């Protein structure tokens, strides 16, 4: 029986050329697999037909939009996953899902090898291959662009020579990855970090300089998951899509950042994530109302480590699973409503309410109705500052006290 390779297929130039390239280099038949994670653009049935026209013996298409929103975007939301505290994990959370479908396709079509179109410079090669090792350690992995020296020039030459049904151009300036959680753009003139992004970089967001009339939205959460928008019940996928539309109309979620890649390279990326950024802002504010102080302080540390693990391709790692359990526990009382105003590139929280709120008006108010006994504060401060007071006295004794001039 002829060996088979399952290729993660995007429908673009590199993976279209990779079908024939892999066959010639290895003698294996290629099964192309495309996964819909809400990336929009071309119809996946068109992409499936293109894969077959490019020489794939089978073409497998998976509609994973609901699965992606439920099992990958929502954990990222509950973790407030922002790499470098700035942008949501647009590509990083899609790769483990794609690999899961790759492994399933490999079993279904009797393949012993999977393949991806990543380069040797990026993070995605690590994410694909570590996830494959974690889910199906018996599968081998090949990367044509990295391992078989498939440069863009060679890809264009190969496509033209073999009359492949794929547009080829040396002038396409950007490398783009997108899904329902956001959009990542790199390469081309963006590699000069002094260059300002041009209007054609953006697709998910409108120019925030000229916004429409301010849009007020109420997002309802249950245990850290959005379940309604303006009182209308939504699934996680619908919540993301609706906030992409509404926040995107106000230019919310544009991010221009030089980031630290896993391989040690600093890379300039442009991100668009209107729905993700608006939902994370709302979720963070609801946590401020409902999560106990020390738990929240520690969660912020966990969030950073969780985000780093996911960015670094460790979605299926034991530590990430353990952190998932902690984060899940913190969401027990993260239920309620957040009111936001979307306008001019900003999502501004203007109201919060929750049956599980830890905010007590009687304790917080300085006006009539104050239930806080201020006489307790003096004793609290004495005890709280006791250790520092003792250390300061010792410093004075040995001539190391603060110089008060």
Helix axis angle for 293-311 and 318-330, nearest 10°, is 150
Q: Which phi and psi (to 5°) does residue 139 adopt?
A: -80, 140
Is there a binding annotation on residue 3? no
Is there a binding annotation on residue 216? no
Residue with tokens 């609706």: 242
E strand spans, 323-382 = 336-343, 346-353
Is there a binding annotation on residue 366? no
Is there a binding annotation on residue 175? yes
Is there a binding annotation on residue 13? yes
Pairing of strands 266-272, 182-186: antiparallel
**Cβ pair 67, 101 in contact under 8 A:** no
HEC secondary structure over 83-145: ECCCEECCCCCHHHHHHHHHHHHHHHHCCCEEECCCCCCCCHHHHHHHHHHHHCCCCEEECHH
Distance separating alpha carbons of residues 124 and 8, to the nearest angstrom:
12
Strand partners, 254: 272
**Catalytically annotated residues:** 14, 95, 124, 175
Residue with tokens 């967001």: 205
Q: Which phi and psi (to 5°) does residue 182 adopt?
A: 165, -175
Distances (CA, A) of 229 to 74, 237, 311: 16, 12, 29
Is there a binding annotation on residue 117? yes
Is there a binding annotation on residue 300? no
Q: How many CB atoms lie within 10 A of CB 86?
A: 12
Is there a binding annotation on residue 9? yes
The H helix count followed by the E strand count for the chain is 15, 16
Structure tokens at 12: 């673009």
Distance separating alpha carbons of residues 236 and 71, to the nearest angstrom:
10
Give which of 150, 114, 154 is closest to 132, Cα–Cα: 114
Is there a binding annotation on residue 259? yes
Is there a binding annotation on residue 384? no
Is there a binding annotation on residue 12? yes
Is there a binding annotation on residue 119? yes
Residue set of the binding site for L-aspartate: 119, 123-124
Residue set of the binding site for ATP: 8-16, 117
Residue set of the binding site: 8-16, 87, 117, 119, 123-124, 127, 175, 259, 271
């Amino acid at each position: 029986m002829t060996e088979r390779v399952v290729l993660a297929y995007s429908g673009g130039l590199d993976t279209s050329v990779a079908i024939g390239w892999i066959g010639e280099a290895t003698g294996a038949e290629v099964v192309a697999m495309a996964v819909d994670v809400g990336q929009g653009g071309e119809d996946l049935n068109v992409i499936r037909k293109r894969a077959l026209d490019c020489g794939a013996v089978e073409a497998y298409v998976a509609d994973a939009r609901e699965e992606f929103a439920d099992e990958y975007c929502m954990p990222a939301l509950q973790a407030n996953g922002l790499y470098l505290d700035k942008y949501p994990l647009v590509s990083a959370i899609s790769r483990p899902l794609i690999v899961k479908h790759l492994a399933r396709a490999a079993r279904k079509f009797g393949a012993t090898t999977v393949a991806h179109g990543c380069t040797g410079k990026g993070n995605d090669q690590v994410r694909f291959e570590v996830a494959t090792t974690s889910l199906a350690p018996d599968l081998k992995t090949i990367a044509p662009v990295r391992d078989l020296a498939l440069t863009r020039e060679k890809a264009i030459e190969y496509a033209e020579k073999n009359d492949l049904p794929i547009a080829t151009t040396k002038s396409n300036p950007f490398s783009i990855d997108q899904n329902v959680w956001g959009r990542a753009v790199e390469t081309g003139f963006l590699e000069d970090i002094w260059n300002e992004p041009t209007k054609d970089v953006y697709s998910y967001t409108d120019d925030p300089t000229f916004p429409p009339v301010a849009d007020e939205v109420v997002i309802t959460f249950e245990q850290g998951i959005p379940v309604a928008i303006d009182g209308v019940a939504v699934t996680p996928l619908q919540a993301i899509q609706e906030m992409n539309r509404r926040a995107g109309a106000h230019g919310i979620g544009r991010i221009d950042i030089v980031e630290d890649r896993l391989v040690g390279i600093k890379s300039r990326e442009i991100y668009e994530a209107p729905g993700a950024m608006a939902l994370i802002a709302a979720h963070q504010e609801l946590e401020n109302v409902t999560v106990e102080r020390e738990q929240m302080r520690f969660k912020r540390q966990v969030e950073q480590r969780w985000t780093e693990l996911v960015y670094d391709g460790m979605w299926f790692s034991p530590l990430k699973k353990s952190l998932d359990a902690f984060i899940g526990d913190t969401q027990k009382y993260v239920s309620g409503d957040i009111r936001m105003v979307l306008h001019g590139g900003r999502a501004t929280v203007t109201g919060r309410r929750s049956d599980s709120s830890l905010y007590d008006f009687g304790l917080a108010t300085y006006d009539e109705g104050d239930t806080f006994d201020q006489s307790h504060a003096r004793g609290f401060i004495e005890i709280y500052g006791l250790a520092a007071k003792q250390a300061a006295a010792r410093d004075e004794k040995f001539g190391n006290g603060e110089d008060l001039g």
